[in-house]
Structures are given as structure tokens and as C-alpha cells.
């Protein structure tokens, strides 16, 4: 008797659960004040999204546009300030404390040094986040990691800078539609180290056309030469409406999956051999390097305030954002509408997804299992009043049958094996909503 075929090892990459393609316009546009009225506000996370890049990589489906003509960055920051004012009012009179902050995109350092100062002012003076007292993570790129911008971020309290290198091989960067030269990447890394920010993270991608074990090891060693406190290893995905989405990989799906798995395992073992601790499937941390930014788990917790197009906000009952698109014309239209939004209109949620008790349990399980440390079963039961095996027995049994659960984990700890995968835990409702989403 033959069992059901195993799913493909790489399906999609997600930042959070439920996925943004499961969001829909919210009937009645609920008021933020009501959404946040009973939420804990003593350890909020703040995220600001800057949707501008100097070039759009071929694999990118993030909410970002190329360039910012006609003082668009000024108008965008004006709108961000108005949104921050509306959100801060919605949080009410009780003191709100921020425990972490992050600027992402896009490329936050697309902004000038003066604009970065203004962004920090909005976070501090409008929202009340003490950027020098909490972990502050900022994304950058080789072309925009200039000394003046980095000096602003270091001076305002940045504790972590994340740079998307993707590959130290120029031909592979071109294949990923990311035109850059290794010399420029190395120069940017030097400036980041000179800025004195405590944590450097380098992003690398495996599965690029033409990339093999030798060239992948070359990029890993080039990154390790900088002794980054963190390294993220991402599989390449080819998604609709992206640059690579128009051509696809040069090999069959099966061959590409097999190559990505080989490269992932090589990268994982190579970093472990270099002394790095595996925090999640994609995140590796150098021993002794203190966490200095939201990690994979923390960035998905309830109590997230998102500012700007592309930013998501999380309460315990609702995840909400603005409209999402990948097509450049659609993105430009959404950004233009955002810059014209008044303070009052920012006081209501527009697009999102309600999270019921069952989805909250599933989200907690998925987030926990995606971490290398796994999930304490007693902690789950204390939080929800039920056991994980009671709630997800059939799915966890399937994981065990496929070898995705670590049989050597201590009693009371649920942990994935080296081959374990997370997206299989998406609920049928979320899967259906994602499948019904029409890319734009």
C-alpha cells in the first residue's frame, strides 16, 4: 500500500501567520481605539516600513517601489507622521511601553541621513519609543549603507543592521536580478563595522541559477570572514509578478527542490562547524552575540504596531495592514493613496484578518516549532488550557510519521527534526484564503 506523496519541501516563504494573502478588506473598518482598548501595552513592538529601493531584485515580492520621484519620500514621511499621531491617540491615555523597534522595507536607508533622523523622531516623539533603550533593528543594502546614514542610525540607538548580500558571486547576483559588485558589498560591510553597531546580520540566498555547492560555500566563507553576529539563509522562491517570476528556474521543480535542499544542508552544517548556533531554520547566531533585534519569534508576537504601507499590526484578535501588491503600478497607486490619507482616516483598520481562539493556538504552535528550541508542552497548556496533542494530534502524528519531529527531544518538549517543516500547519481556512487571493 502506497502512502500519500510527501509535499514539496519548499512551498512559500512567510514572515508571519496568518499570511498577508489571507487578509481581506475589513467590513465597517473597525476603530483602532476599540481594537487596542483591552490589549496589554507594556511590551509593544514598533515597526516602520519604508517602501523604497534603488533597484528591485528579481526574487522580491515585498511591498516596495523603485525610486521616489517628486519628493515622494517627504510626502511619505508626512503621512507616516500623521498615521503615528492617529495610532498614538488610539492607544489611549495609559502609558504604552515599547520593548523593541525595527525599520524595514524596502530599504530604510534609501532615505537620506536627514530623513532617517526624521523617521527616528517620529518613532520617539510621536510614538514614545525610546530607541536608545530598546533593541532597534534596521535593514540596509550595499548601495545605501553610506557613512552618513549609518552614523545617524548608530547615534540614534540602532543595535542591529541587516544587509541583504544574497551572494558574494557577482554572476549569481546578476542571475537573481540584483546588480552589485562584490567590491561594493565588501566596502559596505566595512562601513557597517566602522559604525560600531553591535550586531551585523548578513542575508544569503541559496538556489540561485548557476549556484552550486562550491560557489555556495564561497559565499558562506566570504560572509564568515566578517564574523557577523547573525546570518540568515533563505531559499530562493520564484513568485508571480516578480522579475524572476517571468522566467522561472532553469531546471525542473524536482531538480530545483533537490538542489535547494542540498545547499541548505551544506550551509547549515558549514555554519554549525564554524561555531554558529542554529536559532531557526533560517537564522544562525554567533555564540556570545547578544540578541539585539526582534528575532524570528518575537517579531510575530501580539502587540505589534506597524506604521507605513506594507507594515502589519497585530492585536490578539485582529491582524491588520494596508492593501498589498507586487505589481509596480499597483504599489505606486497604494503609496500615492497613503500619502494623501488624513489623520482621521488613519484611525481605522482597512485590511486584515480576525484571529479566533483556534487560529491563536495554531499560530503559537507554528511560531514555536519554527524555532530550533521547540515548544514547551506545559507552557502551551498553561496559556490555552488544553494540550497541543489534544488540539493538533492528527497533524503532529503526521509530522512524526514523516520524520519531522525530533524523537530525541527531552520529555515535555516538542521540537522539529532537521527535516521538519512549518507551513504544513496552516489551517484549511487560511490555506483557502491564500489560494483565493488574486495577485496584483
pLDDT digits 0-9 by tens, 355-397? 999 999 999 998 888 888 899 999 999 999 999 999 999 999 9
User: Please, is 2 exposed, middle or buried when counting C-beta atoms within 10 Å of its C-beta (0-12, 13-18, 19+)?
Assistant: exposed
User: What mean pLDDT is predicted for residues 305-322?
Assistant: 95
Which of 409, 430, 431 is closest to 418 using CA atoms? 409
Chain-centre distance of CA 430, in angstroms? 19
| Measured distance CA(321)–CA(341) in Å, rounded | 14
Q: Quote the percentage of the chain above a pLDDT of 90.
A: 67
- Reported as a pLDDT band with limits 50, 70 and 90, residue 89 is very high
Residue 2: its pLDDT value, please?
Answer: 40
Which of 33, 44, 31 is closest to 91 using CA atoms? 33
**Average pLDDT of the residues of the chain:** 89
Residue 291: its pLDDT value, please?
Answer: 67
Higher pLDDT, 298 or 147: 147
Task: Report residue 168 as a C-alpha cell.
Answer: 558574494
| Tens digit of each residue's pLDDT (9 = 90 or more) over 399-424 | 888 888 999 999 999 998 877 654 57
CB 123 within 8 A of CB 50: no
| Tens digit of each residue's pLDDT (9 = 90 or more) over 95-135 | 789 999 999 999 999 999 999 999 999 999 999 999 999 99
Number of neighbours of residue 183 by Cβ within 10 angstroms: 10
Task: Report residue 410 as a C-alpha cell.
Answer: 527531552
| Measured distance CA(230)–CA(239) in Å, rounded | 26
- Reported as a pLDDT band with limits 50, 70 and 90, residue 3 is very low
Range name among 19-23, 243-247, 412-416 with the lowest pLDDT average: 243-247
Give the residues across from 160 on adjacent strands.
137, 199
Range name among 43-52, 240-249, 280-289 with the lowest pLDDT average: 240-249
Would the pLDDT of 1 be above 50? no
Residue 249: its pLDDT value, please?
Answer: 67
- Reported as a pLDDT band with limits 50, 70 and 90, residue 288 is confident
Range name among 161-165, 249-253, 296-300 with the lowest pLDDT average: 296-300
| Measured distance CA(165)–CA(385) in Å, rounded | 44
| Measured distance CA(421)–CA(440) in Å, rounded | 28
User: What mean pLDDT is predicted for residues 61-77?
Assistant: 89
Range name among 8-12, 43-47, 75-79, 220-224 with the lowest pLDDT average: 8-12
User: 421 by DSSP, 3-state: which?
Assistant: coil
| Measured distance CA(288)–CA(193) in Å, rounded | 17
- Reported as a pLDDT band with limits 50, 70 and 90, residue 296 is very low
Which of 174, 169, 234 is closest to 207 using CA atoms? 234
Cα distances from 218 to residues 184, 259, 345, in angstroms, run 17, 16, 50
Which of 139, 136, 142 is closest to 154 using CA atoms? 136
Q: Which domains are delineated in the chain? A: 20-353 (3.20.20), 357-436 (1.10.10)
Please state the pTM of the whole predicted model: 0.92
Element (H, E) at 364: helix 357-369
Would the pLDDT of 354 be above 60? yes
Amino acid at each position: 500500500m502506497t502512502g500519500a506523496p510527501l509535499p514539496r519541501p519548499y512551498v512559500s516563504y512567510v514572515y508571519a501567520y496568518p499570511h498577508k494573502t489571507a487578509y481581506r478588506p475589513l467590513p465597517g473598518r473597525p476603530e483602532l481605539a476599540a481594537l487596542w482598548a483591552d490589549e496589554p501595552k507594556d511590551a509593544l513592538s514598533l515597526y516602520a516600513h519604508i517602501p523604497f529601493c534603488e533597484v528591485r531584485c528579481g526574487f522580491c515580492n515585498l511591498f516596495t517601489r523603485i525610486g521616489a520621484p517628486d519628493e515622494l519620500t517627504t510626502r511619505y514621511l508626512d503621512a507616516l507622521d500623521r498615521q503615528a499621531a492617529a495610532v498614538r491617540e488610539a492607544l489611549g491615555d495609559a502609558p504604552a511601553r515599547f520593548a523593541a523597534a525595527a525599520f524595514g522595507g524596502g530599504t530604510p536607508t534609501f532615505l537620506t541621513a536627514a530623513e532617517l533622523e526624521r523617521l527616528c523622531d517620529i518613532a520617539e516623539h510621536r510614538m514614545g519609543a525610546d530607541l536608545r533603550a530598546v533593541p532597534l533593528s534596521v535593514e540596509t543594502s550595499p548601495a545605501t549603507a553610506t557613512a552618513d546614514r549609518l552614523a545617524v542610525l548608530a547615534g540614534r540607538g540602532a543595535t542591529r543592521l541587516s544587509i541583504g548580500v544574497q551572494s558574494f558571486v557577482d554572476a549569481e547576483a546578476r542571475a537573481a536580478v540584483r546588480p552589485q559588485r562584490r567590491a561594493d558589498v565588501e566596502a559596505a560591510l566595512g562601513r557597517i563595522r566602522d559604525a560600531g553597531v553591535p550586531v551585523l546580520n548578513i542575508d544569503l540566498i541559496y538556489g540561485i541559477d548557476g549556484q552550486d555547492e562550491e560557489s555556495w560555500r564561497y559565499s558562506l566563507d566570504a560572509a564568515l570572514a566578517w564574523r557577523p553576529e547573525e546570518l540568515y539563509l533563505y531559499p530562493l522562491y520564484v513568485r508571480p509578478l516578480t522579475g524572476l517570476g517571468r522566467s522561472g528556474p532553469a531546471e525542473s521543480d524536482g531538480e530545483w527542490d533537490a538542489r535547494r535542499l542540498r545547499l541548505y544542508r551544506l550551509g547549515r552544517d558549514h555554519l554549525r562547524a564554524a561555531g554558529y548556533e542554529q536559532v531557526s531554520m533560517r537564522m544562525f547566531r554567533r555564540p556570545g552575540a547578544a540578541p539585539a533585534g526582534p528575532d524570528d519569534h518575537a517579531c510575530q508576537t501580539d502587540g505589534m504596531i506597524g506604521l507605513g504601507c506594507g507594515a502589519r499590526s497585530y492585536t490578539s484578535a485582529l491582524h491588520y495592514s494596508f492593501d498589498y501588491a507586487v505589481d509596480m503600478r499597483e504599489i505606486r497607486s497604494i503609496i500615492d493613496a497613503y500619502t494623501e490619507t488624513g489623520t482621521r482616516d488613519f484611525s481605522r483598520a482597512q485590511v486584515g484578518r480576525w484571529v479566533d481562539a483556534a487560529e491563536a493556538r495554531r499560530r503559537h504552535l507554528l511560531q514555536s516549532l519554527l524555532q530550533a528550541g521547540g515548544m514547551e508542552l506545559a507552557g502551551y497548556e498553561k496559556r490555552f488550557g488544553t494540550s497541543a496533542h489534544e488540539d493538533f494530534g492528527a497533524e503532529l502524528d503526521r509530522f512524526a510519521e514523516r520524520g519531522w519531529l525530533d524523537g530525541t527531544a527531552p520529555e515535555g518538549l516538542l521540537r522539529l527534526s532537521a527535516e521538519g517543516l512549518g507551513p504544513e500547519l496552516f489551517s484549511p481556512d487560511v490555506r483557502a484564503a491564500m489560494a483565493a487571493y488574486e495577485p496584483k
